A = this chain, B = another copy of it.
Amino acid sequence: MSSRSQAIADILTRAIIDHRLVPGCKLGERELAEIFGVSRIVVRQAVIRLADDGLAQIERNRGAFVAKPSMQEAMEIYDALTLVEQGVAAQLSERLGPGGWAELRQHVERQRQAVAAGNDALADVLGQEFHSVFVRLSRNKVMQDIHAQLVRRTTLLRSLITADFDYCNLLDDHSRVIDLLEKGRLKKAMELIDTHHRSVVRGYIMDRAVFPELSPREALAPYLADGAANTEAANDEAGSEHKGAQIYAIPPANLRRNQAGDP
């Protein structure tokens, strides 16, 4: 573990993208310090990291809050995400070998099975993960980091927003993008990526409470070492054969069908 503030920043990030800490929620230094059993300073450092990542807003002498992006900012984040994924698509269409396409197809297939099995939680995570796998194949760590940050911010947006779109369509989009790219039909693929993201944004309605507001103590309880028993129970519920296992450490607080996350 690099540092304690990093560990705490990671937990807070996780809690935010799990929609357990919702936008606007106060991240009081003293309260968090008590919850994590560390000094205020460590908490402040963690919160600074979140703020640099766009997940928190720090107001001088008032404290830190989970970020509450405006609709304008939401559009910008999705635009940036589209731009990045289109660019990666262009690179992959030139450089990716058969193994890469196979990996992508395999990922889509796993998601399809999850949907078929009715495991929405798994399908949801796989749907988000697809985009990350896609970018990872570019073999560009810098780009990966930028993309991951944008994805986190879109996930945050989903706390603020009710999505109203057809889940299966998005799965098909992934599949079609792969086909188009492998056939060299780059322009068509890029249009599809754009449409894909737009179809997500279009259904958004802001200023509606989507997830319940929990106190930081309630929200963070499952991530603490003390709550290990609790955590494992949650894990069993979600499914087990997936390698990026810690994703399931805590299931979203409030996951329903048709609210599935997919940037």
Q: A residues touching B (Cβ–Cβ < 8 Å)?
A: 2-3, 5, 41, 44-45, 48-49, 52-54, 58, 60, 73, 76-77, 79-80, 83-84, 86-88, 90-91, 140-143, 146, 150, 153
Q: A88-B83, A142-B77, A143-B79 are in contact. Are A2 and B48 (CB under 8 A)?
A: no
Q: Do A143 and B83 have beta carbons less than 8 Å apart?
A: yes
Q: Which residues of B contact A76 (CB under 8 A)?
A: 140-143
What 8 A-B pairs are tightest by C-beta distance, nearest first?
A83-B87, A76-B142, A76-B140, A80-B142, A80-B143, A52-B52, A87-B87, A77-B142
**A153 to B143, alpha carbons, bound, how many Å?**
13
A181 to chain B, nearest CB (A): 16
Q: Do A140 and B80 have beta carbons less than 8 Å apart?
A: yes
- The secondary structure that dominates the A interface is helix
Q: Which residues of B contact A73 (CB under 8 A)?
A: 141-142
A101 to chain B, nearest CB (A): 20
Q: Do B48 and A5 have beta carbons less than 8 Å apart?
A: yes
Q: A86-B87, A87-B86, A146-B146 are in contact. Are A140 and B79 (CB under 8 A)?
A: yes
Q: Which residues of B contact A49 (CB under 8 A)?
A: 48, 52
Q: Which residues of B contact A3 (CB under 8 A)?
A: 58, 60
Nearest to A86 among chain B residues (CB) is B87
**A83 to B58, alpha carbons, bound, how many Å?**
31
Q: Which residues of B contact A146 (CB under 8 A)?
A: 80, 146
**A86 to B86, alpha carbons, bound, how many Å?**
10
The contact of A45 among B2, B48, B90, B150, by CB within 8 Å, is B48
**A84 to B49, alpha carbons, bound, how many Å?**
24
Q: Which residues of B contact A44 (CB under 8 A)?
A: 45
Nearest to A2 among chain B residues (CB) is B60
Other than A76-B141, A80-B146, give 13 A-B pairs with Cβ distance below 8 A.
A3-B60, A45-B45, A48-B48, A54-B142, A73-B141, A77-B142, A79-B140, A79-B142, A80-B140, A84-B84, A84-B87, A142-B150, A142-B153
**A80 to B149, alpha carbons, bound, how many Å?**
14
Q: Which residues of B contact A45 (CB under 8 A)?
A: 44-45, 48
**A52 to B52, alpha carbons, bound, how many Å?**
8
**A48 to B54, alpha carbons, bound, how many Å?**
15
The contact of A2 among B58, B87, B143, by CB within 8 Å, is B58
